[in-house]
Amino acid sequence: MRRAGEFDPPPTVMIVATEVVETTTDSIDWIMLIVGFAGGLALFLYGMDRMTESLRVIVGDRARRILERLTSNRFTGLLTGAGVTAVVQSSSVTTVLLVGFVTAGLMTFEQTIPVILGSNIGTTITAQIIAFNVAGWALGFVAVGYLVSSLSTGRHRRARGMAIVGLGLIFLGMTVMSEAMEPLRTYEPFIDAMALLDNLLVAVIVGALFTALVQSSSATTGVVIVLAGQGLISLDAGVALVLGANIGTAFTAVLSAIGKPVEAKRVAGAHVMFNVIGVLIWLPFVDQLVSFVSTIGGGIQREIANAHTIFNVINALLFLPFVSQFAAFVTWLIPDRAPAGAIEPRYVDPSLASTPQLALSKARMEMLRMASRVQAMLLEVLPAILDGDLDTFDRIEEMDDEVDELHGLVLEFLGLVSQEQLSDESSAELVDLLEATNALEAIGDIVETNLVALGQARMASGVEVSEETRHQLEKYHRAVVRAFEMALIAVTQKDPDAARQVAKAKKRINERELQILQRLSDRLVIDEPNRVATYRFEVDVLTQLKRVYYFTRRIARVAVPEREQAILGATEES
């Protein structure tokens, strides 16, 4: 498969090779070579991390909004996935966002597939940048980036500077790796070992394993380009190694999905299947791909980068017409499962804490998962305490245990996020989420502890609620539940209008409370059995439901501008 002359070094190197044909392990400083390669790789990976993290700060929440809005059909989804991944330089960030959208019901799993295909295209931008071979300017990038970062006061401007520093470190790492491996150009055992990579299957496996080891397909691409630039591998081997890197990065997604919800497993599974099937399709046509990129030219480094891009673009276009069928197959392969045991986090993950804006979005989703249980408790509690439904009491107690567990998960996660460097906007959002989460937990306790206890006491004392009073309490209860539901809409959709409706409900709820209290007072003077106990029970139910509304207003505060929060943030339970 290797073409004639592929490894022929330039004449000057031929002379050196002739002189050192007896090269042995003693003539190479293996310690310095390994240290140089490892140090260069570390610089490369650190530069990738710095650049990716800085780009996330620059893009901020816009990546999430773009994905939400531009995935209405498979073509815009493909372009959106490619664009977002190219900007943030991390397909894992795109995948995390997709998992969150699917589990929150904002996207279907089928809608994520074109975005996944697009993210594969977006990751090839790194290889294209690396192939420019501007390593001589590496320190210049570092210097300029540091200057921009150190002289800037705004967080986004500092991030732009650090992104440039990261790019410089990428090129510097490649230079260090290249210089460290230069002695291997004339080391016959190593050249013989590299010749094994002319076997396509071996090269693909090596590329996949190396990528799984370093957890970065970009790192594999960088190393491959360095090897090719030194003349240590052929173009055929370089292309095969890059194909293997696509498999390796997909299995990295599998590792990240372990212990995650079924939606995460489906997204990771789709990623793996796309890349593995794509490589299998291309294996018989590697020679044609090599010939094509050779025709385009640009040097072996650019040819490898072009092969990487062509592979992913054509794969995406091949799979795009079969999105629906593929989604159905993956869903069949990875079915839903019934939850069992202790509550597990569905959205929050400690690894996300270093990206505050994304982390806060996930914390909001986990909080809403908690809110759905509180909502169910609130809906069921009044009929249960009026009818003495013991089974519902037990079910409410179980749901409150889940609420308490989720409350702890969210608080622990927000505590991790709070240790990061937050913008003023993110700090304010974190405080709001803490307050809303605590308010939800307080409502759960009111329902499970106070209202259920009232129902149990009513049964023990033999108190009977009249049909008219029951009707009035149910109307009051519905008004409180409606306010709670509007508060959840406000938080979910960040809808200030819904939050204002929660505030406006106060007048209506107070009026109904006064009507009920007046009626209860009138009935108190009537000679009826247990009239005092009945009065106390009914007044206590009203009081606890009023407390639920008080905490509901605190939840709704999260969705309104700070200047309006005083409207909803009552300082006393009134």
Which tens digits make up the pLDDT trace of 332-357? 888 866 444 557 777 887 877 777 87
Q: What is the mean pLDDT of residues 31-52?
A: 82
Half-sphere exposure of 554 (CA within 13 A, CB side): 23
3-state secondary structure (DSSP) of residue 378:
helix
CA distances 39 to 202, 245, 404, 455, Å, are: 26, 21, 47, 69
- Give the least confident one: 368-377, 394-403, 516-525: 516-525
Q: Is the pLDDT of residue 2 over 50?
A: no
Residues 554/503, Cβ–Cβ less than 8 Å: no
Q: What is the mean pLDDT of residues 66-80?
A: 71
Q: Is the pLDDT of residue 418 over 60?
A: yes
Residue 391's pLDDT is what? 83
Q: Is the pLDDT of residue 443 over 90?
A: yes
**% the chain with pLDDT above 70:** 79
From the list 420, 419, 562, 560, the residue with the least C-alpha distance to 491 is 560
Residues 477/545, Cβ–Cβ less than 8 Å: yes
Residue 199's pLDDT is what? 84
Asked if CATH classification 1.20.58.220 holds for the domain at 350-568, the reply, yes or no, is yes
pLDDT band at 548 (very low <50, low <70, confident <90, very high): very high
From the list 99, 94, 85, 78, the residue with the least C-alpha distance to 266 is 99
Q: Which residue has the higher pLDDT, 547 or 538?
A: 547
Q: Which two tokens stand for residue 524?
A: 């108190």
Please report, in angstroms and rounded to a whole number, the separation of the first and last CA atoms in the chain: 82
Q: Is the pLDDT of residue 232 over 50?
A: yes
pLDDT band at 482 (very low <50, low <70, confident <90, very high): very high
Residue 17's pLDDT is what? 36
Residue 25's pLDDT is what? 43
d(CA 71, CA 82): 12
Residue 561's pLDDT is what? 61
Which tens digits make up the pLDDT trace of 156-210? 788 888 888 887 887 788 778 878 877 776 677 777 777 777 788 888 888 888 8
pLDDT band at 483 (very low <50, low <70, confident <90, very high): very high
Residue 13's pLDDT is what? 38
Residue 10's pLDDT is what? 41
Residue 90's pLDDT is what? 64
Q: Is the pLDDT of residue 570 over 70?
A: no
3-state secondary structure (DSSP) of residue 71:
coil
- Give the least confident one: 16-30, 194-208, 215-229: 16-30
Residues 491/558, Cβ–Cβ less than 8 Å: yes
Mean model confidence pLDDT for the chain: 78
Residue 168's pLDDT is what? 84
Q: Is the pLDDT of residue 464 over 70?
A: yes
Q: Which two tokens stand for residue 133?
A: 């071979």
Listed by start position, the domains of the chain span: 29-180+188-333, 350-568
d(CA 507, CA 537): 24
Alpha helices (H) in 258-355, listed in sequence order: 262-282, 286-296, 300-319, 323-333
- Give the least confident one: 4-18, 293-307, 374-388, 432-446: 4-18
